[in-house]
Amino acid sequence: MNAESLQADMFSEEDRFWEQYVGARLISDPVTAIVELVANAWDAGARRVDVEWPARNGGLFRIADDGEGMTKDEFLKRWSTLSYDRTRYQDDTINVEVDGAVCRRRVFGRNGIGRFAAFCFGKEYNVITTKDGHKRAFHVKQGKQQPLDIDMVNEEEIPGNGTQIEVLNADCSIPANIIRVELGKRFLTDPSFAVFVNNTRIEFEDIEAKGLEIIKVPIPSLNIEIIVKVIDAQRPDRTVKQHGVAWHVLGRLVGDCDWQDPEQKSLIDGRRVEAKRFTFIVEADALQEYGAVLPDWSGFKEANAQFKLVNRAVQDVITKRLLGATSEKRQEITRNIQSAYAPQISQLTPLKRETWNKFVERIQEDCPSLSETELRNVAGVLASMEQAQSKYALLSKLKTFSPDQIDDLDGILEDWSVDMAKIVLDELQTRLKLVDELINRTLDDKTLEVQDLQPLFHQGLWIFGPEYETIEFTSNRGMTEVIKKIFGREDVRGSKNRPDFVVIPDGTVGLYSYPEYSQKDFSEVGVAKVIIVELKAPTVQVTDKEKEQAYKYIRELSMKGLISERTIIRAFVLGRFVNPVDNFERTELNGRATILPMNFDTVLRRARSRLFNLYDKILKAPFLQDKDMTGFLSVSDCVTVVDLAVAEVSRAS
């Protein structure tokens, strides 16, 4: 039959679609692409996947599965809907027959970008899918006016189910044996899911010398031995979906492969590199003899004594192996923290210094989800406690208290009023000093080095509004490097002491962001918010020209795929003078990006006024009446608590 044009009117796109929406790795890295295509077959309920990998560039690439296939309407819906959400239109599980029984398989896909993976091997590809006795062939290629051009090539009646994707004259520069290794590191978790490359099934032997470690776990009380196979993908994947802990009993997967055990969840989460790199396969055939497996193989009977015993031993092994993998990183963090507190630590006695060092090392093992910043804050508090002598005097005073006095003290500590006031006033003092310093520097004609201001604004993102209070905002050096390349000049550089912002002839540019996380597996999926702070030298007037330069930064970040269609961008262009004619906000990217010109005097007066209003409200609060707060104005070490406390009071005010 003649090709039937299936152009979809719903398609629309802006420039930089492939880099921004799909991501560079999916369409440029063969390993990422083939893993995504095999994961699609898993989501389709396939039991077998056949990959035909060409011996050289220009050959035929084909991947075929025996999954449920698609009707014409289903194919068009899924291929022509950007950001197709499988869990919305289908389900987050699929029925698969295993050993004569129907099992529920948890699917990987959700974001609807897997169909673009075939473009890694060519600019166009064919999809042949069979369902309900009909086989349909489609031709898909990258469009010029829209993301995809789709033509229906053929339809005929034929039994069976499944889908295959093929690329003629494929660009497959990686040898087939490497593809076998990479797929083996990710798709050996379920024995009922077989992947073949050039007619040879992938087995553990394919990765034996390139990422497979076997650990024997004896259980003496049961007189059995459990085998744990550790697969190290070595390079982290985009998400955690092919990684975790998989239990095998009699050659069958029990439950899902994930990081759901409480021991693992406390040790690792989807945002950590290790969660996207390691897979643990536990072979525990003996648990079937003890009746530990649920009848539907969806998991284990948690009350089963033998399972508890085996699980405890296995989790200890997994924990030890993950700690070993992160040992070098922990040592580096320890060195960074030791360096940060070198002056304080040098004043401690050898015994206290040893106690402090052991604490820093141990807390990383017991609380691995803590960031380096949080660890540094905790270590700083401990260093101060070790230096302080008053803690022993306090113990002496408590010894002299009567029972009633101790009860009264307990009541005061439950209230936390004075302590909270101390924390807030400490932070207010710090912020007021910062604003004063900024005001003095911006008004001083002798402030020749405008880059001296950028670190101060980095400490005071809260100046721009309460929504920037979060401590997750950090300097984004990757974005900074992109901005440097815009200018293409040797005199455009990073600061000698602070390479995370750009020094340009007439000012500086700092970029700060915090990540966006998936609501499903908590993996990092992009950048949620970006703040651009461009400071102009006192002699430079802020006009439309400067606002246009800020938009160039935003456009470049978008072109490089560093921000997505969900990212919110706020660009502040600050100078001593703003041209009154150009003193208005500019919006771009359908309102997601806002460029705000402001003079230093306005933004700093707003910040100072905001602080004074809050300060006045706190001083008038009933719980502070008749309290002498003079002694409480000292610098607080607990930055995390301070930020949270101030944010709470800000919202209340």
Q: Give 451's DSSP letter.
A: G
φ and ψ of 93, to 5 deg: -135, 165
Selection from 126, 123, 143, 144 nearest residue 135 by Cα? 126
Domain boundary among 390, 411, 432: 390
CATH assignment at residue 48: 3.30.565.10
pLDDT tens by residue, 235-281: 766 666 668 888 999 888 888 888 876 655 545 554 466 677 888 98
Q: Are 185 and 225 in the same domain?
A: no
Which of 93-97, 155-159, 446-450 shows the lowest per-residue confidence on average (mean pLDDT)?
446-450
pLDDT confidence tier of residue 12, bands split at 50, 70 and 90: very low
Rg (CA), the chain: 30
Report the pLDDT averaged over residues 647-652. Answer: 36
Range among 25-29, 172-176, 468-472 with highest mean pLDDT value: 172-176
Q: Are 179 and 218 in the same domain?
A: no
Quick check: is 365 in a domain?
A: yes
Report the pLDDT averaged over residues 33-52. Answer: 92
Residue that wins the pLDDT comparison between 494 and 581: 581
Cα angle: 115, vertex 120, 122; to 5 degrees: 100
pLDDT for 650 equals 38
Quick check: is 196 in a domain?
A: yes
pLDDT confidence tier of residue 465, bands split at 50, 70 and 90: confident
Report the pLDDT averaged over residues 317-322. Answer: 84
Report the pLDDT averaged over residues 514-538. Answer: 79
Which of 13-27, 250-264, 499-513 shows the lowest per-residue confidence on average (mean pLDDT)?
13-27
Whether the pLDDT of residue 344 is over 50: the answer is yes
Q: Are 196 and 217 in the same domain?
A: no
Residue with token string 């529920």: 104
Report the pLDDT averaged over residues 180-193. Answer: 87
Whether the pLDDT of residue 484 is over 60: the answer is yes
Q: Are 512 and 377 in the same domain?
A: no
Whether the pLDDT of residue 527 is over 90: the answer is no
Q: Are 39 and 137 in the same domain?
A: yes
Whether the pLDDT of residue 88 is over 60: the answer is yes
Which of 85-99, 117-131, 207-221, 394-408 shows the lowest per-residue confidence on average (mean pLDDT)?
394-408
Asked whether the whole model's pTM tops 0.75, one would answer no
DSSP symbols for 170-185? ----S-HHHHHHHHHT
Q: Which 3 state secondary structure label does DSSP give 143?
A: coil
* Token pair recorded at residue 458: 């980095």
* Token pair recorded at residue 41: 């077959």
pLDDT tens by residue, 417-443: 555 656 666 666 677 777 777 777 777
Residue with token string 């502040």: 572
Q: Are 306 and 342 in the same domain?
A: no
pLDDT for 110 equals 64
pLDDT for 523 equals 72
Whether the pLDDT of residue 7 is over 60: the answer is no
Domain boundary among 201, 230, 249: 201
Whether the pLDDT of residue 493 is over 60: the answer is no
Q: Quote the CA–CA distance of 589 and 591 in Å, as a whole number.
A: 5
Q: Which 3 state secondary structure label does DSSP give 169?
A: coil
C-beta separation of 572 from 598 below 8 A: yes
DSSP symbols for 316-335? HHHHHHHHHHTHHHHHHHHH
Whether the pLDDT of residue 112 is over 90: the answer is no
Residue that wins the pLDDT comparison between 596 and 80: 596
pLDDT for 298 equals 84
Q: Are 216 and 196 in the same domain?
A: no
Quick check: is 73 in a domain?
A: yes
pLDDT confidence tier of residue 391, bands split at 50, 70 and 90: very low
Quick check: is 649 in a domain?
A: no
Cα angle: 593, vertex 594, 599; to 5 degrees: 150
Q: Are 296 and 333 in the same domain?
A: no
DSSP symbols for 509-558? EEEEEEEEE-TTT--EEEEEEEEEEEEE-TTPEE-HHHHHHHHHHHHHHH
Quick check: is 316 in a domain?
A: no
pLDDT for 425 equals 60
Report the pLDDT averaged over residues 94-102. Answer: 82
pLDDT for 605 equals 77
Direct distance between the N- and C-terminal alpha carbons of the chain, in angstroms, rounded to an integer: 71
Q: Are 265 and 367 in the same domain?
A: no
pLDDT confidence tier of residue 626, bands split at 50, 70 and 90: very low
449: CB partners within 8 A, 6+ apart: none
E strand or H helix at 604: helix 600-620
pLDDT for 426 equals 67
pLDDT for 3 equals 52
Q: Give the total number of structural domains in the chain.
A: 4
Q: Are 30 and 122 in the same domain?
A: yes
Q: Are 475 and 580 in the same domain?
A: yes
Domain boundary among 347, 366, 390: 390
pLDDT confidence tier of residue 71, bands split at 50, 70 and 90: very high
Whether the pLDDT of residue 312 is over 50: the answer is yes
Quick check: is 283 in a domain?
A: yes
Domain that holds residue 18: 4-201
**Alpha carbon distances (Å) from 520 to 106, 239, 269, 532:** 12, 11, 12, 29
pLDDT for 386 equals 64
Report the pLDDT averaged over residues 526-554. Answer: 87
338: CB partners within 8 A, 6+ apart: 345, 357, 360
Q: Are 37 and 182 in the same domain?
A: yes
